[in-house]
Amino acid sequence: MEECISFKNMNCPVYLKRFSPEDIIEVEELEKRTFEVGPYNREELEELLTMPDTFNFLLYDEKSHELLGYIAASKIDEVTANIESIAVDPRYQGKGAGTALLNAIEQEMKARKYIFSILEVREMNMGALEFYKSKGYEEGELLKNFYTLSYKGSNHGIRLIKKLT
């Protein structure tokens, strides 16, 4: 099902869609363009986007049907869901696409009766940290050596948490 949305500074109308298997190559390409270190490979994405208790949204340009970004989450326990991945094409960052994706997944979490949204972010991913903090996420524990690969000299992570209201 497609859901039309609009948000600030975005010239093109966009729409949200759920993942289907034929989208996998596009999502894989988006991951490679977006993450300098450790993009998900196809097998990881298939698991992330198709396993039970996972849910997701893909954001497309309405005219070109180009994939602008995606977000995926999974169940941790009865009250907690984890944002496993969010990526916005570097060409479209800073225009509200990430906000639209996060809003959509938080709405879905609430519909599924989760109370907390959590995630892990690389300690040196300042842009993502600022993004999440601007959306009400608070810093939790430092996750030492959480990532296999280093980014900007660190492989530590930070857990972020938000109580959904």
Structure-token pair, residue 29: 């390409």
State which H helix or E strand residue 120 sits in.
Answer: strand 116-122
Query: Is the dihedral angle over the CA atoms 93, 48, 106, 115 positive or is it negative?
Result: negative
User: Which of 106, 131, 155, 158: binder of ligand COA (CB under 6 A)?
Assistant: 131
Choosing from 12, 34, 116, 159, the residue that interacts with ligand COA (CB under 6 A) is: 34
CB of 128 to ligand COA, least distance (A): 4
**110-144: buried (b, 16+ CB within 10 Å) or exposed (e) per residue?**
eeeebeebbbbbbbbbeebbebbeeeebeeeeebe
Binding mask 83-122 for ligand COA (x = CB under 6 A): ---xxx----xxxxxxx---------------------x-
Residue 160 touches ligand COA, criterion: CB under 6 A: no
Binding pattern for the stretch 38-77 against ligand COA, x by CB under 6 A and - elsewhere:
----------------------------------------
In terms of Cα–Cα distance, which of 57, 159, 59, 52 is closest to 108?
A: 57
Residues of this chain that interact with ligand COA (CB under 6 A) are: 34-35, 86-88, 93-99, 121, 125, 127-128, 130-131, 134
